[in-house]
Amino acid sequence: MSIYILGIESSCDDTSAAVLKDTAILSNVIANQDIHKTFGGVVPELASRAHQQNIIPVVEVALRRANIQKNQLSAIAFTRGPGLLGSLLVGTSFAKSFALGLNIPIIEVNHLKAHILAHFVQGNEPKKVPQFPFLCLTVSGGHTQIVKVNSPSDMHIIGNTIDDAAGEAFDKTAKIMGLPYPGGPYIDKLAKIGNPEAFHLPEPKIPGLDYSFSGLKTSFLYLVRDHLKDNPDFIEQNKADLAASMQHAIIESLLKKLKRAVKETGITEVAIAGGVSANSGLRNAITELAEKENWTTHIPEFQFTTDNAAMIAITGYFKYLEKDFAEQTIAPLSKSLF
Ligand code: KG4
Ligand code: ZN
């Protein structure tokens, strides 16, 4: 008998619901919150209010697109954390009450593990899933990690950022350049027509497999500030080269440690995940590196890079197989353990 999981994601500023039939995607609906653009970043209170408005219509559309009745659902999986507490509360409360009404189990999901397990969703294009064990570079707005994935329920962080996340570095670069939030996609677009060697940005020097991006951001800020003193049009005249140089520096740093992780673990099965894995420069660079180093790489479909509920549903599916259900007394955690 097939397993139908409804996934709910509300950890930050995207309200999403998805339905999976076993590992196959039936629907994946995402409501973005444009309101934060005006403020140049996510305003937590506005995010939770928008989740409250969006959650019911988003779930209704996800069920309709999946062409199933709510009483066909086997379980409801929801993001417990990490994320913004007020935002998480909306998804958690909704999942709990909907499941109670339907008399089906609830499954708590760690958002970061879900980004990784998104690789197991059978989406619109047939794809080969990663073989265990594999390494995953998770690069999002809040996290930058290298994770050794032994199975869906056995994962270890072997490298982590000690300050900013890669996505934050993209977003702050964009902010300095006066681009809208979130800035990653804007930097990506500009970088395509810029020269990555135009400006030199110092390579972060952090031991082991860890990352640091705050120094890079400060160097970028100083570079722009110094040039603006002589030329007020500096950003406008150099925006593509600035974006390309910063993107290049971020990617170099990400791949250098990933290469080291492959060397240290001997694992050549490599995946990328999270919002920054949508970056075309990173996707090209890892594909090139993999060819050179003889790695097998897994690059997610675009719809599974940034926050989405299909990744929550697939994690729920694996936990459903293990009968790993949560209690109705469960509460969200803004800093959940990995
Ligand atoms: O995974 P995600 O949707 O949310 C978190 O869990 O944080 O990641 C959002 C991050 C933002 O920082 C956004 O700027 C970045 O992913 N991002 C990109 C691109 N698309 C999204 N960064 C670089 N290039 C992109 N194309
Ligand atoms: Zn995320």
Residues 298 and 308 in one domain: no
Dump pLDDT digits (tens) for 12-67.
989 999 999 999 999 999 998 888 877 878 888 898 999 999 999 999 999 999 99
Shared domain for 144 and 285, answered yes or no, is yes
Tell me, yes or no, whether 308 and 293 share the same domain: no
User: What does pLDDT average to over the chain?
Assistant: 96
Residue numbers of the domain that contains 157? 134-302
279 CA from centroid of ligand 1 (Å): 8
| pLDDT tens for each residue of 253-274 | 999 999 999 999 999 999 999 9
101 and 170 in a single domain? The answer is no
Are 152 and 11 found together in one domain?
no
Distances (CA, A) of 73 to 48, 165, 278, 299: 26, 36, 31, 30
**Distance from Cα 102 to the centre of ligand 1, integer Å:** 35
Torsion from C-alpha of 12, 336, 205, 306, nearest 10 degrees: -30
Q: Give residue 38's pLDDT.
A: 78
Same domain for 188 and 80, yes or no, is no
pLDDT at 43: 85
Q: What is the pLDDT of residue 37?
A: 79
Supply the Cα-derived Rg of the chain in whole angstroms.
Answer: 20
Q: Check whether residue 298 and residue 314 sit in a common domain.
A: no
pLDDT of residue 33: 81
Considering the domain architecture, whether residues 273 and 312 belong to the same structural domain is answered as no
Assigned domain for 169 exists:
yes
Flag whether 329 is in a domain. no
Does 337 reside within a domain?
no
pLDDT of residue 125: 76
Q: Residue range 81-85: average pLDDT?
A: 96
Determine the distance separating the centroid of ligand 1 and the alpha carbon of 230, expressed in angstroms.
33
pLDDT higher than threshold 80 for residue 199:
yes
Residue 327 lies in a domain: no
Q: Does residue 246 have a pLDDT over 90? A: yes
| Tokens, residue 33 | 């919150």
CATH classification of the domain holding 36: 3.30.420.40
Q: In what order do the strands lie in the sheet with 144-151?
A: 154-160, 144-151, 134-139, 269-273, 296-298
Residues 82, 185 within the same domain: no
Q: Check pocket membership of 139 for ligand 1, CB cut-off 6 A.
A: no
d(CA 107, CA 105): 7
Residue 80 lies in a domain: yes
pTM of the complete model: 0.96
In the chain, what percentage of residues exceed pLDDT 70?
100
CA distance 126 to 119: 11
Ligand number nearest CA of 311 is: 2
User: Quick check: 296 pLDDT over 80?
Assistant: yes
Q: What is the pLDDT of residue 278?
A: 98
Nearest CA to ligand 1 atom 16: 275
CA angle, 164 then 255 then 199, to 5°: 70
225-234 residue pLDDT tens? 999 999 999 9
Residue 335 in any domain: the answer is: no
pLDDT in tens, 297-325: 999 999 999 999 999 999 999 999 999 99
As for how many domains the chain has, the answer is 2
255 and 147 within one domain: yes
Same domain, 248 and 258: yes
For the Cβ of 308 lying below 6 angstroms from any atom of ligand 1, the answer is: no
User: Does ligand 1 have an atom closer than 6 angstroms to the CB of 185?
Assistant: yes
Residues 10 and 20 in one domain: yes
Note the pLDDT tens digit of each residue in 147-179. Answer: 999 999 999 999 999 999 999 999 999 999 999
pLDDT score, position 336: 75
328 located within any domain: no
The predicted-structure confidence for 126-135, as pLDDT tens digits, reads as follows 889 999 999 9
Whether 83 lines ligand 1, by a CB cut-off of 6 Å, is: no
Answer yes or no: is 333 within a domain.
no
Flag whether pLDDT at 337 surpasses 90: no
Query: What is the tens place of the pLDDT at every residue in 276-293?
Result: 999 999 999 999 999 999
| Residue 140 Cβ contacting ligand 1 at under 6 Å | yes
Q: Which residue has the tokens 């549903």?
A: 313
